[in-house]
Structure 1
Amino acid sequence: MAAFRTVFGLMLLVTALAVVGNFLANPARAESIGGFSDDELMDGFQKTVFGVEYGSVAAGSSVKKFESTVLVRVINLADKDRQRQIAGFVSQLPRLVRGLDIRMAGPGDNPNFTVYVVDRADYTDTVRTDVLGTSRGAAPGQCLVRVYPGSLGIVRSTAVIVSDEGDSLFRRCMVEEILQGLGPMNDNAALYASVFNDRSRHDSFMPFDRAVVSMLYDRRIRPGMSRSEVGTLLPRVLADVRRSVR
């Protein structure tokens, strides 16, 4: 679920996972992007990159993506440390998403994507203090990511992922919140082959999602582009993505 706020002139975008069911249609088609038409994949891009469940239309009217290297820092506050799993997932992303430059932050780096790993008992306090910057207010969903977009691309993202409610929920939250923190922030119930759908049971980086994120990180898709500007480019972008994503 996505909610949008404007504070001191900076648009702040928050999306949270709230699992509401286990709906899955045509599971065989989810195994590769070859089972999806161009129209389905381009529609998935439009729904995740531009769609808005909550908030103003303006909040979801333009492309949001990192233009600089994404440097991921994990802050573990949970009894069960999940840093190795997150690092393993992040290490796979450059191979799975053409055009995405992402790695774990090292000594001396200035991280621009922070992932808090917490136990459920600490979730609300962490969201309020370290993400929303307030002592009050709701901490929506079972996990959450906040994106800070700027005119030249996403400035930074901050995610909060719960560690102590089972491996499946952790994987689901890790995959969805990290991916949404890269820019495709909307959730849509029509996307049955995607983690960008609270009704699906997927907890891995699905081929459908690899196509969507790869389209987003094609060099021809620029931060701030409108739906119509992107629409003229997508057929050519998707044709190239089909050659690299399986």
Structure 2
Amino acid sequence: MLALHPAAARPLPDDAALIAGFETIVFGTEIGGFFGSGRYVRKFSEPVRFYIEDRASKPRIPAVRRFIRSLGREIAGLKTGFARRERDANFFVHVVDRADYQAVGRRIYGSPFARVPGECVVRVQFGRSGIVRSDALIVSDEGEGLFQRCLIEEVLQGLGPLDDNPAAPDSVFNDGSDLTVFTRYDKIMLNMLYDGRLSPGMNLEAARALLPEIARSTRRRVR
């Protein structure tokens, strides 16, 4: 029998805690100012078309494609696919060696003098009508753990939840955790976000009226 990851064995927080965690990651921003802002629902309003740019010495395209394919199965309301041409994509996954991290990051942000933060990062361009484009920058050559963690966290954040939550028990949105899996908790967060009752541009006050029922129905459905 396969052993469960510890995050799968622990009980979920109650609905109130799920809602509090959701409000933190969806209506906040981990990196403000130049890198993002906007206290309203941020999500894709159209199918997400991924394009993978792999410049790493250790190719990662099969692993990236597997994870992306899983998103359409795990997140109800989210439609995903792969773009054959860059111009047809709205979500770009850039896989690089650490030595190229700053150069590719500056290209993503369109600033030749920027200092790109973090071990990995995602830039999300959005407005009240939804996310227009996301660029996730993933490091390949510093071990499997960091690669898997970065892949999951940055791609998920690129779908809309832009803040971290240090109170989340089993989540890649908690920088204090060492998780390298898409946990049930995080699946619930993304399924709540892509619930059709929440629309891009909705403010926190309007969303709060809907979140109790969304949390209850999502908890029952997501395993």
TM-score in terms of structure 2 length = 0.91
- Following superposition, the deviation at residue 228 of structure 1 comes to 1.0
Deviation by residue 1:177-212 (Cα, 9 ceiling, x = unmatched): 000000001012111311001110111111111001
Aligned partners of 1:64, 1:70: CA distance in 2, in Å?
A: 14
Aligned length: 218
- 2:150 equivalent among 143, 158, 173: 173
Aligned partners of 1:219, 1:92: CA distance in 2, in Å?
A: 20
Deviation by residue 1:80-127 (Cα, 9 ceiling, x = unmatched): 110110100011111111111112223697110001100000000000
Deviation by residue 1:25-64 (Cα, 9 ceiling, x = unmatched): xx988317853210111111001001234536x9241010
Aligned partners of 2:129, 2:135: CA distance in 1, in Å?
A: 18
Specify the alignment match of 1:193 in structure 2.
170
Relative to structure 1, is the Cα distance of residues 136 and 109 closer, same or farther in structure 2, using a 3 angstrom cutoff? Answer: closer
Gaps of 5+ in 1: 1-26
- The correspondence of residues 1-246 of structure 1 with structure 2, limited to 5 A, is 30-31=7-8, 35-55=12-32, 59-106=37-84, 110-129=88-107, 131-246=108-223
Relative to structure 1, is the Cα distance of residues 108 and 201 closer, same or farther in structure 2, using a 3 angstrom cutoff? Answer: closer
Aligned partners of 2:31, 2:139: CA distance in 1, in Å?
A: 23
Q: Secondary structure at the match of 1:148?
A: strand
- Following superposition, the deviation at residue 152 of structure 1 comes to 1.5
Q: Is the 8 A contact 1:33 1:245 kept in 2?
A: no
TM-score in terms of structure 1 length = 0.83
Gaps of 5+ in 2: none
Q: Is the 8 A contact 1:73 1:111 kept in 2?
A: yes
Q: Secondary structure at the match of 1:93?
A: helix
Relative to structure 1, is the Cα distance of residues 107 and 145 closer, same or farther in structure 2, using a 3 angstrom cutoff? Answer: closer
Q: Secondary structure at the match of 1:59?
A: coil
Aligned partners of 1:225, 1:98: CA distance in 2, in Å?
A: 19
Relative to structure 1, is the Cα distance of residues 215 and 135 closer, same or farther in structure 2, using a 3 angstrom cutoff? Answer: same
Paired amino acid for 1:104? F
Aligned partners of 2:76, 2:168: CA distance in 1, in Å?
A: 22
Q: Is the 8 A contact 1:33 1:207 kept in 2?
A: no
Instruction: Let me know the Cα RMSD of the aligned residues.
Output: 2.1
Aligned partners of 2:48, 2:57: CA distance in 1, in Å?
A: 27
- Following superposition, the deviation at residue 230 of structure 1 comes to 0.6
- Structure 1 window deviating more from structure 2 (144-153 vs 116-125): it is 144-153
Percent identity between the aligned chains? Answer: 43
Aligned partners of 1:107, 1:123: CA distance in 2, in Å?
A: 23
Aligned partners of 2:25, 2:10: CA distance in 1, in Å?
A: 17
